[in-house]
Amino acid sequence: MKKILILNGPNLNLLGTREPAQYGYTTLADVEAFCKAHGEKIGYEVECLQSNWEGALIDRIHEAGRQYKAGELLGVVINPGALTHTSISLHDAIKGVDPLPVIECHISNVHAREEFRHHSWVSPAAAGIVVGFGVDGYLVAIDGLVRKYVNSAATKMP
């Protein structure tokens, strides 16, 4: 069974325990569980990793690039947390594994928040972006990945 990788960056391990007005009450364990269940339903094994370390995320993206080349991985959904707004290294890592599809996902609508959250270093390297759907955004991102790279509506047009 092909895989989809879900990556979560710094502080997302705190999901559901603080700042519920911004991020809701769902924990990261809940998110990972419903992503795995959804993946199973649509025929993908979902693997999840959260790290507070930029380098660990970059190492995993490099490994994902190898898995993609080997035909084992469809793509990656990443919520890079605040690294979104600071990390050129993450941008370079995603560019470095092109054409591996990487979907950037944010729980909150970053564009309706502080100015410093409006810029993303990840977006220019991403295959798609999901913003502001709460934790359901992870499912939207998974479905978007599958629709764009497997079941494209465009491929079904007469």
Q: Which helix (H) or strand (E) holds 112?
A: none
Distance in Å, CB of 149 to ligand CA2, minimum: 23
Would residue 106 show up in a list of annotated catalytic residues for this protein? Answer: yes
Distance in Å, CB of 97 to ligand CA2, minimum: 21
Q: Which helix (H) or strand (E) holds 146?
A: helix 137-149
Would residue 111 show up in a list of annotated catalytic residues for this protein? Answer: no
Which is nearest to 132 in space by CA: 8, 37, 4, 24? 24
Per annotation, catalytic residue among 44, 68, 91, 106: 106
The one among 12, 46, 73, 141 contacting ligand CA2 by CB under 6 A = 12
The one among 50, 67, 79, 87 contacting ligand CA2 by CB under 6 A = 79
41 touches ligand CA2 (CB under 6 A): no
The one among 110, 126, 139, 145 contacting ligand CA2 by CB under 6 A = 110
Q: Which residues pair with 128 in a beta bridge?
A: 103
Per annotation, catalytic residue among 23, 44, 68, 138: 23
138 touches ligand CA2 (CB under 6 A): no
Q: Decide: helix, strand or coil at residue 18.
A: coil
Neighbours of 83 (CB within 10 A): 22
The one among 5, 6, 74, 107 contacting ligand CA2 by CB under 6 A = 107
Decide whether 67 or 84 has the Cβ nearer to ligand CA2: 84
Residues 82 and 55 sit within 8 Å (Cβ to Cβ): no
CA 47 → CA 2, 88, 120, 121, 157, distances in Å?
A: 11, 25, 24, 24, 32
52 touches ligand CA2 (CB under 6 A): no
CA 157, CA 30: separation in Å to the nearest integer?
37
Site residues, ligand CA2 (CB under 6 A): 11-12, 14-15, 18-19, 23, 79, 81-82, 84, 106-108, 110, 117
